[in-house]
Amino acid sequence: MSTPLSNLPPIDSLTYEQALAELETLVGSLESEQQTLTEAIALFERGQALAQHCVSLLDQAELKVQQLTSSGLTDFTPAE
């Protein structure tokens, strides 16, 4: 992978789509390219963290609903 790992954004700041897209690229490069062992281990660890991040985003996600009003946005709680 061309970007040095140290230049990548912190995983906590990634959205689900960003994390999954990076994971896909990372797995692809780990599968196809020759890295040094150190690089491979760093990629592997980042990959695991990305996968874990994706899963925990899904686990913790609560639909955020906001309503457009004339003055701005307000949280919307649907009536059950």
Partner 1 sequence: MAQLPLFSPTLASACSVTDLTRYLRDLLESDELLQDVWVQGEISNFSRPASGHLYFTIKDKGASLRCVMWRNNALRLAAMPRDGEAIEAHGVISIYEVGGQYQLYADLIRSAGEGALYQQFLRLKARLEAEGLFAPERKRPIPPWPQSLGIVTSPTGAALRDILHTLQRRYPLLQVYLAPTSVQGDDAPPGIVAALQALNQRVQPDVILLARGGGSIEDLWAFNDERVARAIAASSAPVICGVGHETDFTIADFVADLRAPTPTAAAELATPDQLELREAVQGLSERLERSMQSNLNATRWSFSALHHRFQQQSPRTRLQTGRQHLDELSHRAILGMLHSQQLHKAQLTALQHRLAALSPQGVLQRGYAIVATPAGQIVHSTQQAHPGDALTVQVSDGAFPVRVDNSSKLPNNG
CB of residue 58 to partner 1, shortest distance in Å: 5
Q: Could you tell me the two tokens for 10? A: 């912190």
Shortest CA distance to 54 belongs to which of 29, 20, 30, 24?
A: 20
DSSP-derived secondary structure letter, 10: P
Binding site for partner 1 (CB under 8 A): 15-17, 20, 23-24, 26-27, 30-31, 35, 37, 40-41, 44, 47-48, 51, 54-55, 57-58, 61-68, 73, 76, 78-80
CB of residue 4 to partner 1, shortest distance in Å: 18
